Chains A and B, each alone.
Chain A
Amino acid sequence: MGNSVLLEIEGLWKTYGKTVGVAGLSMKVASGEIHGLIGPNGAGKTTTVKCIVGLLNPDKGKITVMGRNVGNDYGFKKFLGYLPETPSLPDYLTPKEFLGYIARIRGVEPGEETRRRVQEFLSMFELNECENRFIIELSKGLKQRLALTTVFIHQPKFIIMDEPFIGLDPEGQRLVKSLVKNIVDAGGATLICTHMLDMAERFCNSATIIDSGKSIAEGSIEILKKSVGLDSSGTLEEAFFRIVGGKSSGRL
């Protein structure tokens, strides 16, 4: 496991009018981590993620991805893979056209290289039969798979995914997990927002628990469990309820 920090958030604040989305969140993700971002509804997970990928402008705070400040430098996006919770896909493009386009604007070399990679990922995710149909005609599962191809096609180092497994069949889930493992083993990292705690427990090696816009616990899965007095036979789910339940005490 490398030691470089791929994502660092310091004191992130984001409010929508009177509602507070994120209230002074700080967290780190180092290389080699498959980091889960867990929390109740309305905790601020999606807001945080959108601030990291540069879709929302934070009110206060600093976010650094791979050493670059997100507010000043868009260059980090070359190595970033992102999957939103409900991705919007253009209705009247075909998967082939769409994926080719994404590959190009994410830095894949034009011409032969792009063509090769598009073919590779379309067959990897079993989208060959529908590669020339309009996206609007595809089922939800196929759309999810197409959105996932855009996450990996440009060989990113840092991936952020918001509920990636919803609508995905077991085959697809296995594929995604192996692709993520490849990236992480090569020194990258992943941040996954999810509500599926049993999945998070088996897949992630560390997590941040967030509630009411603040981080209330962060660390490897083992440490999280130990901090509330559970040994390794206890579940992350149990640990989560203990941590979130006792959040007013503010302990790690």
Chain B
Amino acid sequence: MGDSRLPQILMFKLLQYYGPLRKSASIKFSTLMFYFIVVFSSLFSGVFVRGFYGFSNISEKELMNIISVTFSSVIAMGIFLGLKGGITSLEPEIDFVLTSPVKPSTYMLADLLFQFVFLNVAVTPPLISFSAVMLYPDFKNLPMVFLSYELMLLTSSLMAQTLGVLKSVWKDVMVEAFGWILLALLFIPLLGMAMGFEINYSDLPYPSTILSRCAFGSLSLGDITLGLIYLAVIVIAYFAAMRINFLPDVTPLLTTALMEMPSSNRRILRGVPKLFMQVLSPKMSEKPMALTVKLNLLRILRDGSLFTALMLFGIATLANLSFPILIRQVSFSALATLTFNILYTPLIPAIFSINWGIVERESLWATAVSEDGFKKYVKGMLIAYFIATFSFALIFYIAFNILLAGTPFIILDFLLLFLITLFASILSVATALTLAKPSNALSLSALLYVFIPLFGSLFLSMPVILARTTISIADVPPPTILFVLLLYTILIAFLLSRYVLARSKTFFDKTPVEETVPQIQFQRNYKNYFLNFLTLASLILMATSLTGFFFGPSTDPSRKYYGPPLAVLMGLMLTASILMQRKALGQDEKAMYSVPSKVPWKASQTLLILLLALLFPSVLQFPLLTLSFSSGIRANDLTLLFLGEIAIIIPMLLYMVSKGISVEFIGLDSRSAIPEFKLALLILPLTVLTGLLAGVVVQILVPLPPWVERIFSTVSPSSFKNLVVLSFFTIFFAAPCEEMLFRGFVQRGLESSLGDTWGIVGSSILFGLFHLNLWQFLPAFLLGLILGYVFRRRRYRIWCPIALHAAYNVTLLILSYVFNV
């Protein structure tokens, strides 16, 4: 009995929560990659925010404001969890642990530690990265901020559990009212600030503000006293709660976190006007399509998804609105802030989908059996999501417009809202149908359900965002632009919905076991998936660059002349090459399969060899560099490049020789060389375009600093002779070596451990990173995807990728020579 059980209960909770990671190496890898993407995004958004508000130093007062709000959000999260029960458990614990002779206080402590661990793992790295970026370049306060943050996190969990226990001692309604009052106290000042009242958030007497002042070392005596009082109250309340004999009616909070709060939801439902309910209630005489839409809407309303989604959307909006005021950038137009809110809209349908995945998904057996029934259901889902999201997002937008600015309605804002809602709804449904069921509402797999619609709709709406941020056209956009954007919207929406409806056909094919694995599963027909993606990507980039050409930052007037025809030409070439590509890649299917289908090396060896490949060039170049410095003879840049390219394949070749592996394994099959080269010529246009456009977009968004330009100029042809030499180098050294390494070795190695998808994506990411700069990453990554796919499609013969890579690079060389970029 007693406390010796605590470590075991904690282990059990951790094993349950992180259980899906035990399934396979591929899951572990995907999770790790996703995790790094999340951290990278928060770093990037920190940089973006600072860039947007000016890279100049943010004053300490303003920083304290930001940190205070962050800490308040952490407390708010604790209150939110507390109102739902406070104890983060999953069903098996309720059935088996709570019915064992475990002291309630032991279980509560185990849950406290569990919350501390999983919240830290999930929230801390992104939050601390963001804070670090905000604090840059003065990091002296970072350790204290970090410690205060951890203390805040612990306090939040203490409060959550105390509130949960209170719910069983007092009446539900009273505790909920108490919780809501606390939340209001925390957030209403933000609303006041957004409306223009003179409030300094970090001066308020809250535990969060006191801690933030403590982090910056500016505590007053009053602060210390108040802080100690707060601490005493929380700790005493917690200890009192721990003495409970009987844990409150524990619910599986981790599963129902985003669903109804029972009493409040029922009261809200009662408050919904009768007329509205009349419209919503399904009538037997209606058409099946209308019925499905209504049923989906009712589901969203009744299971509490709408309520939770709106609550979280409201909080995000509030935080966003107050941000410029927090850092005293009052000059920043309130309208621009409103636009940012539009970008949070995807949260709403994302939450609908998370709850759908957790509950509703199980009960689709009845729909599935009717003819075409599921397809109608999915259509109804799409429409219902759109109606619900758009209505409320619009209401919010108009309300805040009135509250804050009172300025006229901007049509591009409206278009952006419409677009984001449309794409977010479609992507949420697509995610729900493609991904496996989320293991619980607060898991990493659930985060994917938010991530994909959020970033997907952001990415897809790039053209409009670009147009919107170009001040000259924001107020009165020319009709042609509007027309182009609308056309683009319809096209993308059509493509996406076709994907969703196609997915609905194969939804029930999977066996139950596969469904609970949080792994992205692609459509079985690889060809369609990848080609659709590439088409989509090229269309987006084309639309973006079209907008960019018209209104980009360049002062060169001649752009207006060759810009549009060039874009149209690209589009035509694109269409033609796509049509040819579908047939071309499928050729030679029945030829003798001459490259071995399995390779004897795995992901771990791959990564090791790659690391060596990165280091080797430096090893070879170092003596040459020291020689040149000491003897005064300048080493030829080109020589260094040559050495570098050869150096990267040396570790790989040494490895293969030592293991007796023939070069056939990396795809060098002599008989198929010539036909494969011919094929490459056919696919060239698509490859060139994608890389080109990607490079252009990145350069528009993040302009090159001068030191990078200097490096790039070494590979830019300065004369015709230079052009020839560089082309020769590319064709016979750069392309073959890089392809042998990244496709022949890395992709196949990753494939053999982690599956086909990660083989291509992983090697492309590594290929992108290999170039060691931000501006070449995206084009290299996209190029890597195409080459990887082609490599696989051509049954691992390396010739086609080599030829494509060479042709692509040479084309770029020619273009840069001609246009002198």
Tell me which residues across on chain A come within 8 A of B12, comparing CB atoms. 90, 101
Question: In the bound complex, do residue B101 and residue A102 qualify as a contact, i.e. CB atoms below 8 Å apart?
Answer: no
Q: Least Cβ distance of B306 to chain A in Å?
A: 21
A137 touches B101 (CB 8 A): no
Tell me the complex Cα distance, A80–B99, Å.
Answer: 8
Complex Cα distance, B243 from A3, in Å, reads: 35
Q: Is A241 an interface residue (CB 8 A)?
A: no
Determine the distance from Cα of A74 to Cα of B102 in the docked complex, in whole angstroms.
7
Knowing A74-B102, A74-B104, the reply to whether A90 touches B249 (Cβ < 8 A) is: no
Shortest beta-carbon distance from B737 to chain A in Å: 43
Q: Of B96, B97, B513, which is in contact with the most chain A CB atoms at under 10 Å from its CB?
A: B96
Instruction: Tell me whether A92 and B20 are in contact in the complex, defined as CB-CB below 8 angstroms, given that A56-B249, A71-B245, A107-B101 are known contacts.
Output: yes
A67 to chain B, nearest CB (A): 15
CB-defined contacts of B5 to chain A, threshold 8 Å:
104-105
Kindly state the separation between the CA atoms of A77 and B15 in the bound complex, as whole angstroms.
24
Q: Is the CB of B96 within 8 A of A150?
A: yes
Interface-facing stretch out of B87-95, B629-637, B660-668: B87-95
Instruction: Find the A residue at minimum CB distance from B248.
Output: A57
Please give, as numbers and ranges, the residues of chain A lying within 8 Å of B1 by CB-CB distance: 75, 78, 107
B19 at the binding interface (Cβ < 8 Å) = yes
A74–B101 touching, CB < 8 Å = yes
Query: Which one of B20, B101, B516 contacts A106 once the chains associate, using CB atoms below 8 Å?
Result: B101
Give Cα A129 to B631, complex, Å. Answer: 73
Q: How far is the CB of A49 from chain B (nearest CB, A)?
A: 10
Bound CA span A106–B8, Å: 12
**Segment at the interface with B among A81-89, A171-179, A224-232:** A81-89
B90 CB contacts on chain A under 8 angstroms:
88, 90
How distant is B742 from chain A, measured CB to nearest CB, in Å? 34
- Any chain B CB within 8 A of the CB of A136? yes
| B15-A92 in contact (CB<8A) | yes
Measured CB to CB, the nearest residue on chain A to B439 is A91
B22 with A134: CB separation less than 8 A:
yes
> Do A90 and B100 form a contact, CB below 8 Å, given A57-B168, A101-B8, A137-B513?
no
Q: How far is it, in angstroms, between the C-alpha of A134 and the C-alpha of B439 when the chains are bound?
A: 15
| Cβ-based interface call for A73 (8 A) | yes
Find out whether the CB atom of A54 lies under 8 angstroms from the CB atom of B100: no
CA distance A106 to B92 in the complex (A): 15
A53 within 8 A of B: yes
- By beta carbon, the residue of chain A nearest B13 is A90
| B16 in contact (CB, < 8 A) | yes
Q: Which residue on chain A has the smallest CB distance to residue B168?
A: A57
Are B513 and A54 closer than 8 Å at their CB atoms? no
Which residue from chain A places its CB closest to the CB of B103 in the assembled complex? A74
Rounded to whole Å, the gap between the CB of B19 and the closest CB of chain A is 3
B248-270: which have CB < 8 Å to A?
248-250, 262-263, 266
B274 interface residue (CB < 8 Å to A): no
Partner of A82, one of B92, B99, B103: B99
CB of A88 within 8 A of CB of B99, answer: no
State the CA gap A158–B103 with chains docked (Å). 20
Chain B binding surface, main DSSP class: helix
For the complex, give the distance between the alpha carbons of A137 and B513 in Å: 6
Quick check: A92 and B245 within 8 Å, CB to CB? no
Closest to B169 in A: A57
Nearest CB in chain B to that of A104: its residue? B8
How far apart are A204's CB and chain B's nearest CB, in angstroms? 22
CA distance in complex: A168, B287 (Å): 44
Q: Counting CB contacts under 8 A, is B98 at the interface?
A: yes
Q: CA A9 – CA B430 in complex, angstroms?
A: 52
Would A55 and B98 count as touching, CB distance under 8 A? yes
C-alpha spacing A91/B8, complex, angstroms? 17
Q: How far is the CA of A88 from the CA of B262 in the complex (A)?
A: 22
With an 8 A cutoff between CB atoms, is A93 at the interface? Answer: yes
> Counting CB contacts under 8 A, is B416 at the interface?
no
Contact between chains at B19 and A92 (CB < 8 Å): yes
Chain A min CB distance to B554 (Å): 55
B16 touches A74 (CB 8 A): no
Q: Given B92, B94, B99, B516, which contacts A77 in the complex, CB threshold below 8 Å?
A: B99
Mark each residue of chain A from 88 to 122: 1 if its CB lies under 8 Å from any CB of chain B, else 0.
11111100010001101111000000000000000
- Tell me the complex Cα distance, A105–B103, Å: 11
A91 partner, pick from B19, B250, B266, beta carbons under 8 A: B19
Instruction: Tell me if A41 counts as interface (CB < 8 A to partner B).
Output: no
A72 within 8 A of B: yes
CB <8 Å contact, A136 and B513: yes
CB of B246 within 8 A of chain A? yes
Asked if B245 and A73 make an inter-chain contact with CB atoms under 8 angstroms apart, the answer reads yes
Contacts of B16 in A (CB 8 A): 90-93
Question: Is residue B23 contacting chain A, with contact meaning CB distance below 8 A?
Answer: yes
Q: Which residues of B contact A136 (CB under 8 A)?
A: 513, 516
Cross-chain contact A90 with B19 (CB below 8 angstroms): yes
Measured in the bound complex, the distance between the Cα atoms of B97 and A56 in whole Å is 14
Q: Which B-chain residue is minimally distant from A77 (CB atoms)?
A: B101
Q: Are A72 and B19 in contact (CB under 8 A)?
A: no
In the bound complex, what is the Cα–Cα distance between A87 and B91 (angstroms)? 8
- Which of A55, A75, A97 is within 8 Å of B94, CB to CB? A55
B12-36 interface mask toward A, CB cutoff 8 Å, 1 = contact, 0 = none?
Answer: 1001100111110000000000000
Contact, CB under 8 Å: B94 / A89? no
Whether the pair A90, B104 counts as a contact (CB closer than 8 A) is no
Taking a contact as CB atoms under 8 Å apart, the answer to whether B513 and A90 are in contact is no
Query: Contact between B516 and A54 (Cβ–Cβ < 8 Å)?
Result: no
Q: Chain B's nearest CB lies how many Å from the CB of A104?
A: 6
A92 to B103 CA separation, bound complex (whole angstroms): 26
Q: A84 — which chain B residues lie within 8 A by C-beta? A: 95
B485 within 8 Å of A (CB atoms): no
With contacts A71-B246, A92-B16, A93-B16 known, is A102 near B22, CB below 8 A? no
A160 → B minimal CB distance (Å): 9
Whether the Cβ atoms of B95 and A75 lie closer than 8 Å is: no
Expressed in whole angstroms, the Cα–Cα distance for A208 and B16 within the complex equals: 38
Cβ-neighbour of A55 out of B21, B245, B250, B262 (below 8 A): B250
B-chain residues with CB within 8 Å of residue A78 when the two chains form the complex: 1, 101
CA distance A158 to B333 in the complex (A): 70
Q: Report the separation of the CA atoms of residues A102 and B20 in the bound assembly, to the nearest whole angstrom.
A: 20
A26 to nearest B CB, angstroms? 21
Q: Is the CB of B104 within 8 A of A93?
A: no
Cβ 8 A contact of B100, one of A88, A91, A102: A102
**A87-B94 Cα distance, complex, nearest whole Å:** 10
Residue from A77, A92, A101, A106 having most chain B Cβ neighbours under 10 A: A92
Cβ-defined contact, B95 with A92, below 8 A: no
A55 to chain B: closest residue by CB = B98
Cα A129 to Cα B94 in complex, Å, equals: 28
Q: Closest residue of chain B to A93, judged by CB?
A: B15
Once the chains are docked, how many angstroms separate the CA of A56 from the CA of B12?
Answer: 22
CA distance A208 to B19 in the complex (A): 41
Are B96 and A102 in contact, with the CB atoms below 8 A? Answer: yes
User: For the complex, is B163 an interface residue (Cβ under 8 Å from A)?
Assistant: no
Residue of B nearest to A53 (CB): B99
**Is the CB of B9 closer than 8 A to any CB of chain A?**
yes
Chain A residue nearest to B252 (CB atoms) is: A88
A89-B90 Cα distance, complex, nearest whole Å: 10
- Distance, CA A102 to CA B99, complexed state (A): 10
Interchain CA distance A150-B97 in the complex, whole Å: 11
B260 → A minimal CB distance (Å): 13
Please tell me if the beta carbons of B19 and A105 are within 8 angstroms of each other in the complex.
Answer: no
Distance (whole angstroms) from the CB of B711 to the closest CB of chain A: 48
**A104 CB contacts on chain B under 8 angstroms:** 5, 8
> Can you name the residue of chain B whose Cβ is closest to the Cβ of A137?
B513
| Cβ–Cβ < 8 Å partners of B100 in chain A | 77, 102, 105-106
CA distance A73 to B1 in the complex (A): 13
Interface string of B60-92 (1 = CB under 8 A from A): 000000000000000000000000000000111
Write 22 A-B pairs (CB below 8 A) sorted by A numbering: A17-B262, A17-B263, A54-B98, A54-B246, A55-B98, A55-B99, A57-B246, A57-B248, A71-B245, A76-B101, A77-B99, A88-B90, A88-B92, A90-B15, A91-B19, A91-B439, A92-B19, A105-B102, A106-B101, A134-B23, A137-B513, A150-B96
Q: A75-B1, A87-B95 are in contact. List 11 more A-B contacts (CB 8 A).
A: A55-B98, A56-B249, A57-B246, A57-B249, A73-B245, A90-B15, A92-B19, A93-B19, A101-B8, A106-B101, A134-B22
